[in-house]
Amino acid sequence: MAYKRTEKFDEEITSSLMKKYKESIALLGEDPEREGLQKTPERMAKAMQYLTQGYGIDARAILESAKFHEEVSEMIIVKDIELYSMCEHHMLPFYGKAHVAYIPNGYITGLSKIARVVDVYSRRLQVQERLTHQILSAIKESLNPLGVAVVIEASHLCMMMRGVSKQNSVTTTSAFFGEFEKNETRSEFMKLISAKLH
Ligand SMILES: [Zn+2]
């Protein structure tokens, strides 16, 4: 199954969002008619649609669009995948890095597809824990591998800019399946993602 990338914005959704964002700006005490803010509702409407475009995309289809038969059984790691998402509690960004590994069982996928899957689930309203598990499940179900591991390290603006103002805290989440549930394999993976190779 093919997937398509959407850079176009739905006109009806854009204009409804614009109205609501204009109201929100006024409710927050600003003048939405002043020069610098006139186009802000439209920019917000488009930015938010862009940042949530992951809802319309099937992550499994991405992985299956580049699924190749290959007899390798070594661990494949894609580390330091840039990640930008939005917390579903405050709709504020969280950002960081994802490290993903799998051990093939007859099938591999393109390395860039793994990064695309991270994007698809990041561009939704998320919690970091669910994001971690969704990436793992997509790989598990599409490639039927012997094992999958996902580690995400992220900083949450809702923690940094408001409330407790914990500027330097990084949240780490992980999910493991199959071979990675064994201590030995998991520690090899953890060692490889912590190693500074560059
Ligand atoms: Zn939050």
Beta strand segments in the chain, E:
67-69, 76-87, 93-103, 107-109, 125-126, 147-156, 171-178
* Positions in the chain whose pLDDT score sits under 70: 1-7, 164-166, 196-198
Handedness of CA 70, 75, 81, 87 (dihedral sign): positive
* Residues 123, 82 contacting (CB under 8 angstroms): no
Which is catalytic among the residues 42, 53, 153, 158?
158
Q: Which pLDDT belongs to residue 197?
A: 54
pTM above 0.85, yes or no: yes
Question: How many angstroms separate the alpha carbon of residue 145 from the centre of ligand 1?
Answer: 33
Q: Which pLDDT belongs to residue 150?
A: 98
Q: Which pLDDT belongs to residue 1?
A: 47
- Longest alpha-carbon distance in the chain: 63
Which is catalytic among the residues 30, 82, 89, 141?
89
Which is catalytic among the residues 64, 128, 133, 179?
128
pLDDT tens sequence across 14-25: 999 999 999 999
State yes or no: is 179 an active-site residue.
no
Which is catalytic among the residues 87, 99, 133, 134?
87
State yes or no: is 90 an active-site residue.
yes
State yes or no: is 42 an active-site residue.
no
Q: How far apart are CA 195 and CA 58, in angstroms?
A: 32
CA atoms within 13 A on the CB side of 139: 35
